[in-house]
Structure 1
Amino acid sequence: MTTIPQQLSPQKLLKTGDANPSESQFRRKLRNLVRRDQVFDFLKPQYHPLLDTRHNILLYIEGVTKSFDGFKAIDDLNLYIREGELRCIIGPNGAGKTTMMDIITGKTRPDEGQVWLGSNLNLLNMDEAEIANAGIGRKFQKPTVFECLTVWHNLELAMAGERGVFDVFRARLNGAQRDEINRVLEQVGLCNQASLLAGNLSHGQKQWLEIGMLLMQKPKLLLVDEPVAGMTHQEMDRTAALLTSLAGEHSVVVVEHDMDFVRSIASTVSVLHQGHVLAEGSMSEIQSNPQVKQVYLGE
């Protein structure tokens, strides 16, 4: 037996104050709800109403510590990401870079410290889904795309809003939504591959597609893990141009080991060592820092 959810009841569908709703009114409201040519408010991406970046800081990490079986992966970490900046995070293996991103995205809970998105959103009080919906997108090192679908359909499925099976089945894109997909296709350089199956893309193109899928969610903060691993030099150059173009509209945090790539995109670099920030500054300042030379650059 099919039941009507509470949010689809006549009382919910009719305007407040309607008395004794008739069956015809209810049917009309229900027909309007499932119109395929209409974009509803819940499909329109909106930033979290409590997001406050008036101090120009989007992400606050303060005094964060995390231990695993007695080993401190993160040790009194303090990091601040400004709104619209592109920040590179470097450091040797075991420095805490992945654990840091796990904490930001809610996958791991710290033992101590605070993590805030803007001035009002305490990420430690939110689960992974709530954090993602608040405006944080994460790209892992290995691209995760739907290889059996076209590039276009990958972006369509990633579109911000309610995208459950029923929503996708009955929805028809309007002109604005199509324009948005085309805009992202152009931004990530995949216009000519829109109808191509994602499984037929090169490694670099899959990376760009996944970045595009994140952009469809309109995040405020993108966390990008080793985006150029396995890429050709030409693909690395295009990835550098892409990430640089995202700064301003988004805050972008890039974790990367390739120093030439970091040098090509970074204005500010943070060096993690033993779970805390060892040094921070421009690439030239980092390269001349004696502590960084000793623990990371091997000099």
Structure 2
Amino acid sequence: MTIITNQFKFRLPIKELIARDKVFGFMQPQQHPLIDTRHNILLYLEGVNKTFDGFKAIDDFNLYIKEGELRCIIGPNGAGKTTMMDIITGKTRPDSGQVWLGSRLNLLTMTEAQIANAGVGRKFQKPTVIGCLSVWHNLELAMAGPRSVWATFRAKLTGEQKDKLASILTLIQLHDHANIAAGNLSHGQKQWLEIGMLLMQNPKLLLVDEPVAGMTHQEMDRTAELLIGLAGKHSVVVVEHDMDFVRSIDSQVTVMHQGHVLAEGTMSKIQQHPQVIDVYLGGS
């Protein structure tokens, strides 16, 4: 099998691809026909509870994410952040409560695959790119729709698909690395590639787990810029421990503690909350 990695050609000028005031049709999330966000809320979690062997990981948890919102979730280890994401994506079923995507899609009645196909994308802390394949082919494999490795290498991309790949490469700042093996990227670049792979699935909601762990300060700044740029076109929920990074995003913050919401608000407001200072921030 011969893998052709000839340099791709942009079908649109780069100036247009990175224009902040224009969103092309192929970059727009393809909304599931049953997603109803007429109330401007994309994700609802209400009265959610989950216990593991007597330990209450999630305790009467409520969370509402607006359409196009960028939200940061912080909290100490064991606060329930990972369990919360597992419940949203269908990996874990709660003991009680409700989880809805829009006002018509009940995520608790859907499988993990159905939830992903409905527009929920999740990025885990450790990048899971395919190191032996090029950046371009990683994105191509992640493209929405049924695509096997063999079918991908045999098929020819349409002009629109090539445009989308090119636009994502520009967005994640890897357009100069399209033909480089993903395994040769820096840690930060691998994280951006995985975010790009999620974007190829046209998600409405992105769950991003500790995206800047192990990054340099420059990579952290670029990651903040990328996530801020995604808001509006997507709803983005970021779970993070790095407070400097959370401050740089400057978005609404939810603080979790012992499975429930301890506080919500801007980072400046959260930093002055006595209970948050006591259980998480300390003197920082």
Secondary structure of the residue aligned to 2:65 is strand
1:130 to 95, 114, 118: 114
For 1:87-106, what aligned pairs fall within 5 Å after superposition? 87-106=71-90
Distance 1:166 1:141 in 2: 28
Report the CA distance between 1:45 and its aligned residue.
Answer: 7.8
Report the CA distance between 1:168 and its aligned residue.
Answer: 2.1
Distance 1:242 1:169 in 2: 29
Identity of aligned residues (%): 78
For 1:247-258, what aligned pairs fall within 5 Å after superposition? 247-258=231-242
Deviations 1:103-137 (A, max 9, x none): 00000000010000000000000010000000000
Counterpart contact for 1:106–1:131, Cα < 8 Å: yes
Secondary structure of the residue aligned to 1:288 is coil
Query: Do residues 77 (structure 1) and 61 (structure 2) align?
Result: yes
Q: Structure 1 length as normaliser, TM-score?
A: 0.84
Distance 1:130 1:99 in 2: 19
Counterpart contact for 2:252–2:267, Cα < 8 Å: yes
1:218 to 202, 220, 231: 202
Q: Structure 2 length as normaliser, TM-score?
A: 0.88
Task: Give the superposed CA RMSD.
Answer: 1.3
Which structure 2 residue ranges, 5 or more long, are not aligned?
A: 1-27
Q: What amino acid is the match of 1:240? A: A
Structure 2 equivalent of residue 274 of structure 1: 258
Structure 1 equivalent of residue 127 of structure 2: 143
| Aligned length in residues | 256
Counterpart contact for 2:29–2:203, Cα < 8 Å: no
Greater C-alpha radius of gyration: 1
Distance 2:157 2:250 in 1: 37
Query: Do residues 118 (structure 1) and 102 (structure 2) align?
Result: yes
Q: Which runs of 4+ in 1 moved over 3 A?
A: none
Structure 2 equivalent of residue 176 of structure 1: 160
Which structure 1 residue ranges, 5 or more long, are not aligned?
A: 1-43
Structure 2 equivalent of residue 47 of structure 1: 31
Deviations 1:161-205 (A, max 9, x none): 121356425421011110100000000000010000000000000
Counterpart contact for 1:150–1:198, Cα < 8 Å: yes
Distance 1:167 1:218 in 2: 20
Distance 2:173 2:124 in 1: 20
Structure 2 equivalent of residue 35 of structure 1: none
